[in-house]
Amino acid sequence: MAQFKLVISDPKTGKSEASEVKDAAAQLLLGRRIGEVLDLSTIGLTGKVTITGGSDRAGFPMRPDVLGGGKNYVLLTTGVGFRSNEGGAKKRKLVRGNMISEEIFQVNAARVAEEQKPSP
């Protein structure tokens, strides 16, 4: 069965909270992609979140521009999984795709601000 560490950040306060998601609750996350909005009330947590990223057990990060759930070597110039002090540097790095699979260990998410309905 799938098991994830779900880290939810709150952009308003700048704080984050971590929780373990196991078994049936983890099935909600399988197959989801970076950028999707989820309602956490189905797994016992409150609010809506958007998936922002994650990593596998070995620490390889998920990238939103790599399709699928497997690992791929990608030529990177900026972004997640790439650091360089030189301008114009390129490097081929191993990263995970944007889909949550059973190999993912940590899933990062951010709370979605509740929309205020205008008063009449």
Q: Average pLDDT, whole number, for the chain?
A: 90
Task: Tell me the pLDDT tens digit for each residue of 75-118.
Answer: 999 999 898 888 889 999 999 999 999 999 999 999 997 765 56
Question: Per-residue pLDDT averaged across 35-43, rounded?
Answer: 90
Look up the pTM and report it: 0.86
Would you list the domain boundaries of the chain? 3-111
- Three-class DSSP labels, the chain: CCEEEEEEEECCCCEEEEEEEEHHHHCCCCCCECCCEEEHHHHCCCCEEEEEEEEECCCCEECCCCCCCCEEEEEECCCCCCCCCCCCCCEEEEEECCECCCCEEEEEEEECCCCCCCCC
Residue found by looking up tokens 């795709």 in the block: 97
Is residue 1's pLDDT more than 80?
no
